[in-house]
Structure formats: C-alpha cells, structure tokens
C-alpha cells in the first residue's frame, strides 16, 4: 500500500512533465505495472501494463505512419517502412522514456529491482508504449499524436531523414565504400553455433583481408547487418 501511495503521488510530477492530467489516475498508474510485480503481490488490483502496451504499440504505429505520410510526401512507401523502423524501435523508445524518468514510477518485483529493472531497456521501452496507450484512452488520438511528436520524434526524426540514417547499416557501408574506394566490402560467416533449428551466425565484414567489423544474428542477413553496424562505428560513420 505504501508503494502504491508513493507512486500515485509521484505521478503528479510526471503529469506536470508531459503537460497532461488524468481524471482516471488508475489508468495512468496501470501503465507502470510490470508483470513481475504480480508474482509477489497477487492481491494487487491493477493488471499488468501488457494490454496498454499492445494498444500503445498500435497507436504509435498509426501516428508514425500518418506523420511520415503528411510530413514527407516526396518519399516512397519503402522509405516510410525503413524510416519507421529506425524511429519506432526498442532503443528509440528507451531513449524517449529515460528523460521522463519513467523507471521511477514502475511497479517491479524485488528481483527485477535488484536486477536494475528501472534501467532495463526493454522494460522502459514497453512502459513508454503503455503510457501512449493510456494517453490515447484518456485524451484521444490527437493528444497521443502530440505526445509522441514531442517526446519521441522531437529533432530525432528529422535527423534520421536528412542524414538518411534510416538506411540499413549494410547499405550505408556499401555507399561509403563505393564513394571512397570504388569497391564493395565482402561478408564471410566466421562461425555457426546452436542447433540446426535455432542457429546463431557470427559474420565478419572485410576490406580484402582486413576485418572491418563483426556481428551475430539468427540469420546470415542479420549477422551481416550487425557486422556492418560494427564497422560503421569503428569508421566513425
């Protein structure tokens, strides 16, 4: 009960930060109930935030699609897909959640708290989506749109578009090598691990015999993308 009262009171600070006030404070509170909390508090009345997260994910997808369609009409459908993937991902949602201090409001099990759950990338990203779901239910689509535009897109989306950061890392590395060296890097599978139905591939990207980077994935394609990303970081691109 003490934790409930403490978090409910702290939610006033969050509402001030985002410029939105909830008549249904329990709805807002629900956005912060991680499923682990119920393992130790089975009589806790609010459900986990998973349903709100599901709703928020759908709202976020629609908002992003509408925003791209209306703001960047000159782009093609394939570009929209790549840009959307670059802005609506776990890392971006985590980066949006951090400045709002969403981790401070979470209901977590003791185990999750001890495991640094309030800083967990996936938990905070999911919480941000759950918050979007709560805002949509309380205030409607237009307000959810404004919230996402303010706290997720900000200057980040324009930067992604202008610098073409939405392109896969493999494409960016390829363009760099074509422009600078008039050739392409090559990819090699360095090792495979795991059972046949669930393999992990370690892939390296090379300039002749010089290894530029390496990465792993559940497919060769994913491994190549991670290797290219590693190479870009080392090259400072």
Residue 191, helix vs strand vs coil: strand
Q: Are 196 and 127 found together in one domain?
A: no
pLDDT score recorded for residue 3: 54
Whether 186 and 206 have beta carbons less than 8 Å apart is answered as: yes
80-126 residue pLDDT tens: 999 998 899 888 899 999 999 999 999 999 989 999 989 998 899 99
Q: Which residues contact 84 (CB under 8 A, 6 or more apart)?
A: 61, 64, 65, 68
In this predicted model, which residue has the larger pLDDT, 144 or 198?
144
pLDDT score recorded for residue 201: 94
Q: Are 213 and 149 found together in one domain?
A: no
Q: Are 11 and 62 found together in one domain?
A: yes
Is the full-model pTM beyond 0.85? Answer: no
pLDDT score recorded for residue 32: 96
At 31, phi and psi to the nearest 5?
A: -65, -15
Q: Are 150 and 197 found together in one domain?
A: no
pLDDT score recorded for residue 34: 93
The pLDDT confidence band at residue 1, using thresholds 50, 70 and 90, is: very low
Q: Which of 142, 165, 135 is nearest to 66 (CA)?
A: 142
Where does the chain show beta strands of DSSP type E? 186-193, 200-207, 210-217
Please give the positions annotated as active site: 57, 129
The count of structural domains within the chain is 2
Q: Are 153 and 197 found together in one domain?
A: no
Q: Are 176 and 153 found together in one domain?
A: no
Strand pairing class (210-217; 186-193)? unpaired
> Which of 136, 162, 188 is a domain's end point?
162
Q: Across the chain, what does the average pLDDT equal?
A: 91
CA–CA gap between residue 83 and residue 88 (Å, rounded): 8
Residue 9 has pLDDT above 80, yes or no: no
Q: Are 157 and 195 found together in one domain?
A: no
- Domain extent at residue 186: 169-235
Average pLDDT over residues 207-214: 94
Strand partners, 151: none
């Amino acid at each position: 009960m003490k934790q409930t009262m403490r978090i409910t009171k702290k939610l006033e600070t969050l509402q001030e930060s985002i410029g939105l006030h909830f008549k249904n404070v329990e709805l807002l509170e629900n956005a912060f109930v991680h499923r682990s909390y119920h393992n130790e508090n089975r009589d806790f009345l609010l459900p986990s935030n998973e349903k709100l997260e599901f709703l928020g994910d759908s709202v976020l997808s629609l908002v992003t699609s509408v925003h791209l369609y209306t703001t960047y009409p000159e782009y093609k459908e394939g570009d929209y897909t790549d840009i959307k993937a670059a802005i609506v991902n776990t890392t971006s949602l985590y980066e949006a959640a951090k400045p709002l201090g969403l981790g401070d409001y979470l209901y977590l099990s003791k185990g999750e708290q001890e495991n640094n759950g309030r800083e967990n990338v996936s938990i905070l990203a999911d919480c941000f989506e759950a918050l979007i779901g709560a805002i949509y239910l309380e205030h409607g689509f237009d307000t959810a749109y404004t919230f996402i535009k303010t706290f997720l897109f900000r200057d980040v989306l324009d930067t992604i578009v202008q610098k073409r950061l939405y392109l896969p890392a493999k494409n960016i590395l390829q363009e760099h090598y074509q422009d600078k060296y008039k050739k392409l890097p090559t990819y090699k599978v360095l090792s495979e691990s795991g059972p046949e139905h669930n393999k992990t591939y370690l892939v390296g990207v090379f300039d002749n015999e010089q290894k530029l980077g390496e990465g792993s994935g559940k497919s060769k394609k994913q491994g190549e993308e991670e290797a290219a990303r590693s190479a870009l970081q080392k090259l400072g691109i």
